[in-house]
Amino acid sequence: MIAGTTGKTSNHLSGEKSPYLLQHLNNPVDWYPWGEAAFQKAKKEDKPVFLSIGYATCHWCHVMAHESFEDEEVARILNRHYVSIKVDREERPDIDKIYMSVCQSMTGQGGWPLTILMTPEAKPFFAGTYFPKLRRMNMPGLIDILKPIADMWGKNRHEILKASDDITNAIQPRKDSPHDELDMGTLQKGYDQFERTFDSQWGGFGTAPKFPTPHQLTFLLRQHRRRPDSSALKMVDQTLTAMRRGGIFDQVGFGFHRYSVDAKWLVPHFEKMLYDQALLAMAYIEAYQVTREERFAKVAKEIFTYVLRDMRAPNGGFYSAEDADSEGEEGLFYIWKKTDIMDCLGENDGDLYCRFYGITQQGNFEEGFNIPHISLSEEAFAQKEGIEPSRLEELLSTARGRLFEVREKRIHPLKDDKILTSWNGLMIAALSKGYQAMGDQRYADAAAAAADFILSELRGADDRLFCRFRDGDVAYPGYLDDYAFLVWGLIELYEATFDVTYLEEAVSLNKAMIDIFWDHKGGGLYFTGKGNETLITKSKEAYDGALPSGNSVAAQNLLRLGRMTGDVALEQSAEALMRSFSSNVKAHPIGYTQMLAAVDFVVGPSQEIVIAGDLNQETSQSMIRTVQQKFLPNKVILFHHEGPEGKRLETLSPFVKDMRSADRLSTAYVCEQHACRSPVKEVSQLNALLH
């Protein structure tokens, strides 16, 4: 049927693989995917373009779709006066970045769904996020917007075209600001900004809504290493502890929800994103390395339990996200009535579980439902109840397992099962760090399987990465984040397994990244480059938001690979990259915490560690564990194998050629701040050097 008529319809999205686009396949709106066909239609029919950007697990995207895009009246207006384009922001982050920047500059805020009106030349003249169908609570309705603009397009188009030209000119790359020195003072300024915005009551920074933003916490751990007398570790500890106890953590099935709508971390936005699991796992792992407190390691293990159980594809890659909604209601899969818990667990166990997790008859969520959360630690609760802590842990674990089995029978939220190279790179890094810190072989195996899948299935004949895999289909030439995040994962995977293949791949992809994305005039890396679609502008950014930026991660990769290979040019590229963003970082360091980790590496001290010998020898393994289990954020480690593997490493890192095992004994070489210590053969001697 023709889109816009009554009954089931089919628009131009049927050939797409994105779960988000396919959610809109039967809308009466005559959607097109982003592409030449849509823009040619707009030019031929002399219509403006209605661009809607979102993603499959976005709650407000669902709301707007149900209110407006499934509505015949809205569809008639759109189909008559506009050409409508749907974009999955996770498949096309290049498009999303450009038009999100337009929305933020025009309205002072952003988010999804993103609503843009633009000319057939893709020049924007109107921007917003969610709009109801009709005006409500001081929000203009979508119909209230579409009708007058369509009329204006016909009668006063010159005003629209002038606005679109002005906006397009405003988002063009600007001449780089004067470069400032990024140094210890920049790190201190970032710390001071966090100390001022820290919520001493509930943890985290600022007020509601609260996002985890784990790279802020890992920056503070680096500050603690420099200044143990500061409040850095206290801020990290309180925040990580509060998040694990709050409703933002899935107390029954594990894993973290997207963010908390309140200051207490109690009521989450219930979607689960792969990148949040990866970045939060790394924060808890580093907190464990700093403190050696098992409670932090336990949370990282819980995150990995969720990811390996629910987010891992049979091919070894990792899915993108799980929706907040099920059965048309946000959070329904995750919330409980007290009677449901009592029916499942019985009177005694049910009463204990409810008291520990704050479950009441009145509920702490809508309509008498409860979000399980923890007010007292297990130790404090056990003392209060007069129960042995080990017995309490056993009872709660058994109860959780029974509730999980009951919950599994509910209708599950949608799983966005596309596999993204960039987010998989983050999970590879997290699992590899997890293996290094905690020694669970499953994590290294899972990281290697994901890396092998990405390298074999999401890389073309020209060795160029692709962004997305779904249902056997590979699409979209990779963006900066795909390269930077995957290289990060491969570096961590090499340092976990010492399989030289992963270091070779990291070096190769890093070289390709520089070739494809480097800005030869201003320094730094564009988000798109050779082979990507040419859009109305090119973005180049270092801001570390929900995700760290590709430039920030690339800076660290360049520094680490420079030290691992002895290639000074890589470190020079890192310095040029950091200089290109230095004025922004220096002015507002709290917004660039992943970049500050690179600054921390440059300021030093940093260490290069080479262990030579037989990888299977007990002393070699003890030396490796000694290094891997410590919090040494500014170290690189290589293992110089005997035999062919060693020759391959020497090709990558010629400086290791003379670093060999002495007297057939495992030998460690440690260099710090460009000065090398005498090689050592005892684990205790290595431990002393690392301190």
Kindly give the interhelix angle for 568-580 and 593-603, rounded to the nearest 10 degrees.
Answer: 130
The identity of residue 496, as a single letter, is A
pLDDT tens-digit map of 498-523 = 999 999 999 999 999 999 999 999 89
CA distance 589 to 592: 5
Structure tokens at 542: 């270092």
Instruction: Give residue 675's pLDDT.
Output: 87
Q: Is the dihedral of CA 399, 405, 406, 412 positive or negative?
A: positive
DSSP-based three-state secondary structure for 475: strand
Out of 35-39, 90-94, 270-274, 661-665, least confident range: 661-665
CA distance 527 to 481: 7
pTM of the model: 0.95
Residue 169 scores a pLDDT above 70? yes
Residues 6+ apart with CB under 8 A from 162: none
Pairwise pLDDT comparison (470 vs 139), residue with the higher score: 470
68 secondary structure, DSSP code:
I
Residues 6+ apart with CB under 8 A from 624: 498, 611, 637, 639
pLDDT tens-digit map of 595-650 = 999 999 999 999 999 999 999 999 999 999 999 999 999 999 999 998 888 899 99
431 class by beta-carbon count within 10 Å (0-12 exposed, 13-18 middle, 19+ buried): buried
Instruction: Give residue 373's pLDDT.
Output: 98
Structure tokens at 529: 């480059």
Instruction: Give residue 246's pLDDT.
Output: 98
Instruction: Give residue 179's pLDDT.
Output: 77
pLDDT tens-digit map of 317-352 = 999 999 999 998 999 999 999 999 999 999 999 999
Instruction: Give residue 407's pLDDT.
Output: 97
317 φ/ψ sector (left φ>0, alpha ψ -120 to 50, else beta): beta
Structure tokens at 116: 């843009």
Inter-residue contact 23 to 56 (CB < 8 Å): yes
Structure tokens at 135: 């005006």
Percent of the chain with pLDDT over 90: 91
Burial pattern 51-60, b for ≥16 Cβ within 10 A else e, equals bbbbbbbbbb
| Among candidate residues 121, 84, 98, 62, the one with its CA nearest the CA of residue 9 | 84
pLDDT interval class at 6 (50, 70, 90): very low
Long-range pairs of 509-516 with CB within 8 A, sequence gap ≥ 24: 509/465, 509/483, 510/483, 510/554, 510/557, 510/558, 510/561, 510/570, 512/463, 512/464, 512/465, 512/483, 513/480, 513/483, 513/484, 513/487, 513/554, 514/573, 516/464, 516/483
Strands 114-118 and 124-128: antiparallel
Partnered with residue 204 across adjacent β-strands are none
CA count, 13 A, side-chain hemisphere, 437 = 30
What single string gives the DSSP state of each residue in 638-688?
A: EEEESSHHHHHHHHH-GGGTT---BTTB-EEEEEETTEEPPPB-SHHHHHH
Structure tokens at 235: 């801020």
Q: Is the dihedral of CA 426, 430, 433, 439 positive or negative?
A: negative
The identity of residue 312, as a single letter, is R
Partnered with residue 54 across adjacent β-strands are 88
Mean pLDDT of 156-185: 87
Residues 6+ apart with CB under 8 A from 562: 568, 569, 570, 571, 574
pLDDT interval class at 177 (50, 70, 90): low
Instruction: Give residue 173's pLDDT.
Output: 83
Residue 5 scores a pLDDT above 60? no
pLDDT tens-digit map of 374-427 = 999 999 999 999 999 999 999 999 999 999 999 999 999 999 999 999 999 999
Task: Give the largest Cα separation in the chain, rounded.
Answer: 88
Structure tokens at 659: 């670093």
CA distance 65 to 60: 8
Task: Please state, rounded to an integer, the average pLDDT across all residues of the chain.
Answer: 95
Pairwise pLDDT comparison (399 vs 673), residue with the higher score: 399
- Looking at 67-213, list the stretches that DSSP marks H as alpha helix, in order from N- to C-terminal side: 72-81, 93-107, 142-155, 157-170, 184-197
Residue 176 scores a pLDDT above 70? no
Inter-residue contact 492 to 564 (CB < 8 Å): no
51 secondary structure, DSSP code:
E
Instruction: Give residue 643's pLDDT.
Output: 82
pLDDT tens-digit map of 92-131 = 999 999 999 999 999 988 999 999 999 999 999 999 999 9
- Name the residue with tokens 């030349």: 121
Inter-residue contact 417 to 320 (CB < 8 Å): yes
Residue 550 scores a pLDDT above 70? yes
What single string gives the DSSP state of each residue in 370-390?
A: B----SS-HHHHHHHHT--HH
Residue 295 scores a pLDDT above 90? yes
CA distance 50 to 183: 46
pLDDT interval class at 180 (50, 70, 90): confident
| Among candidate residues 196, 303, 198, 299, the one with its CA nearest the CA of residue 241 | 299
Query: End-to-end distance of the chain based on CA atoms, in angstroms?
Result: 72
Inter-residue contact 648 to 500 (CB < 8 Å): yes
- Is it true that the peptide bond before 113 is cis, omega within 30 degrees of 0? yes
Out of 83-87, 232-236, 673-677, least confident range: 673-677
Phi/psi at 328 (5° precision) = 80, 5
Pairwise pLDDT comparison (605 vs 174), residue with the higher score: 605
Q: ∠ at Cα 280 (458, 225), nearest 5°?
A: 115
CA distance 669 to 655: 12
Mean pLDDT of 297-315: 98
Instruction: Give residue 674's pLDDT.
Output: 79
